[in-house]
Structure formats: structure tokens, C-alpha cells
Amino acid sequence: MFSIYKKELQSFFFTPFAYILTALFMFLFTLQFNSAIGDMNTDTFKFTFPEIFYNMTFYFIFLIPIMTMRSYADERKFGTEVLLMTSPVSVLKIVLGKYLANVTVFLFMLACSLVFPIITAANGQVVMSQLVCAYIGFFFWGCMFIALGMLISSFTENSIIAAIIGELVMFIFIFIDRFSQTAFISQHPTLQNVLNSFAARPRFGYFSQGFIRISDLVFFISAIIVCLAWNYISIEKRRWNRG
């Protein structure tokens, strides 16, 4: 697994790819940060980060598919999938190696964003409980969508198509709770409850407010496991088809 993990990390960090993604993430975070400052009514540099992270859940869906689109699609496009499928490494290790590499890039992006709480702490006050919970929630939220993005990449050999489909699917998951509140869905309580059970953004909302609920952790961890399991099934099926 480490060999796959190392190979994937090199494809990110030995090229401009990871740094461009991080720059885009920092740009979006800066916009949210400056917006929060602009909305203050006093000269005191004092505010909390929940709204910034909550808004970033929307903007980040445009970055995650770009991060994950190459996971399997490029392997097929450049013909390296044959080497991957015939290697002695198990499918489980392939999936986990690629997943952990993507998560490492995500952690790198989050680590870079720590400059904003540091600036805030130097010039005002930071509510640490909300900040820590927001980072934990954002991490699990990102890990879930990384697993989902990799799953979508396993279905196609075109990385651009994988990115587009990934953004559409993640967009649906982001706004599924609002869709469930429409007049038509509200008339069907059972359907509304089913849709709400898949809503990720409201669950992240509790993290951003400084609350860690076991039910929300179970939701994100379960979603990650399910998506990775489907990753495994998808790749295992392709390996068997190749004989």
C-alpha cells in the first residue's frame, strides 16, 4: 500500500497540481475571511470561523472533483491501469493507497489555512472550541467527498467527465436538504425523511457551531466506508474482467 501511496503523492507534489489546488483553496478561503472582516461593525479584529467553514463546504465541491478526477481515469487514459491491475498489490491496498494520498493533499490544504486563525489570534480572539470542531467537521466532510470523487473516477477513463459528474453529484448532496423542504417533498414525510438522512451539510453545521455529535461522526465515517467499499468492488470487477 505504501508504494501506491508514495506514487500518488509524487504525482501530486512533484508536479504543480497540489500547489495549484492549494492556491485555489487559499484564494477561496481568503475571500470568505475578508468577507467576514468586512461584515464587522467594530474595529476590533474579533469573529469566529463557523460561517467561513460553512460557506467553504459549497466552494470546495469545485475543488474535490479536480483533486480526485485522476485517481483511476488517468490510469486508463495513459495505459498504466494494466500495470496496476497485474501488480501483486491487492485491490484493497490500491484503493486505500490512492485514498490516503488524496487525504494527505487535503490535510496539506487545511494546514495552510491555519494562517488565518493565527492572524486572528494575534489581532483579536479565537473561539477555540468552535475552531477545532469546525476543522474536525470540515476534515470528515472532505474525506467523505474525496471517497465519493474517487468512486466516480473509477467509472470512466476521462478525467474531465469524472470531474463534471463529481461536481454534479456533490452539488446534489450539498443542497439535498433544501430540496427536501420544497412544497412537493413536504407532502411526502417518508420521502422527506429519506432525503434528509443523506444531507451532509446540516450535519457539518453542528461541527461549525462547536458541537461534535456521535450521530454526525457515524454518518461521515459510514459514508466514507461505503464509498471506499464501492471503490473496491468497482476496481475488483475490472481486475477480474481483465482475467
For 180-229, write each residue's pLDDT tens digit.
Answer: 777 777 777 888 787 877 777 778 878 877 788 898 899 999 999 999 99
State how far the alpha carbon of 217 is from the alpha carbons of 54, 55, 144, 161, in Å: 17, 20, 11, 31
Residue 52 or 67, more confident: 67
pTM of the model: 0.87
